[in-house]
Amino acid sequence: MKYFALLFSLLMLLSVSHSLECIENATSFVLTEQGTLIALVLLVTMFIIIFAYIAGIVTNNPSFTVFAKDEAWHFAFSLVLLMLFSVILLLACNSVDFFYKTTLEEIGTASTCYDSSAEMTEVSICFLDLAKRDAEVIAENSIDKYIDKLMGSTWSVTISIPLLNSVTSAAGAFRRIDAFQYDTVLYTFVFPSLISFNMQQLFLEFVSDVVLKWILPSAFVLRIFPPTRQIGNMLIALAVGLYVIVPFMYTFNLAMYDVINDDYCMEFHDVVYDSTFGGCGDTGNFWDIARLLPQAFFLPNLTIAFLITFLVGVNKALRVIG
């Protein structure tokens, strides 16, 4: 297994010459933010390994020697992992970029946000902004329609017959039903979707601002120090998952949202059409509302499931390899 890890590291070294276009240089970022602390921990760990090896030779105690050799392997693997971390991110980025170009472009997804030279977090936030703006437009339209229908339902007609009686009829009362329909859709689907999009945007911005600045440096510090190595492994897996898996899943999911536009709606026009909300091409129709729901509720949960699976797998791999 250790020889496999060395071979894998060598393969990653071959791709160092590739420019870091679609991912930030994580290695230099980590060394810039926490370089002094990491260097200090490396120095302390190196002294522990040297002293343990010398103690094993002097006392002829194999446990010290085995401990020194084992920690030397972990030490070397941590250094390789730190120096090649950007390459790991780059390989993942290029894989998704290849998938995007060969798959999503074939089915005609819009390239409003996607750019192979942009970071995936930026791309996912851009796509999420598009969905959020759609939800805002639908919400504003639904509120306007609700008020208009509710006000229209108050119109009445009075017929007065001199010396006899007068008859009053609420001529627009039927519009109250349409108003309630807008109210139900607005507060049951549109507003919750809008709140979900805002929360997801805050989460993606948190990932973009915090992962490389705090989580990843802390992970490498804990990874190098023997007593906290397993915690460091978990944080490294978390950093890779948050910085790679989450934005890539969001980019893929939101690209699907971008694809399912009015062109697809026309294929189901008879089903989509409603006397109150209209049909394809009308603002806030049932098709537009239905597009929001998967991205607002189902697909984020799917992303979390992928993230958890990824964390478990990477953590086990790091424990086995080094």
C-beta separation of 197 from 127 below 8 A: no
CA 89 – CA 92 distance, rounded (Å): 5
Question: Strand locations in the chain, DSSP E?
Answer: 157-161, 165-169
pLDDT score for 193 = 92
CA 186 – CA 143 distance, rounded (Å): 8
Helix (H, G, I), strand (E, B) or coil at 220: helix
pLDDT single digits (tens) 143-159: 998 888 888 777 766 67
- Band (163; pLDDT cuts 50, 70, 90): low
CA 127 – CA 86 distance, rounded (Å): 25
pLDDT score for 221 = 75
CA 20 – CA 117 distance, rounded (Å): 9
CA 12 – CA 77 distance, rounded (Å): 13
pLDDT for 48 beyond 70: yes
User: Could you count the other beta carbons within 10 Å of the beta carbon of residue 301?
Assistant: 9
pLDDT single digits (tens) 223-236: 777 778 788 888 88
Is the Cα torsion angle 180, 185, 187, 191 positive or negative in sign?
negative
Query: Which backbone phi and psi does 106 adopt, to 5 degrees?
Result: -70, -30
pLDDT score for 115 = 66
pLDDT score for 3 = 42
pLDDT single digits (tens) 121-149: 777 888 888 889 989 999 999 899 888 88
CA 254 – CA 109 distance, rounded (Å): 10
Dump the DSSP string for 2-44.
HHHHHHHHHHHHHTTTS---SS--HHHHHHHHHHHHHHHHHHH
Structure tokens at 115: 């750019």
**Among 91-100, 140-149, 272-281, the least confident range:** 91-100
C-beta separation of 96 from 250 below 8 A: no
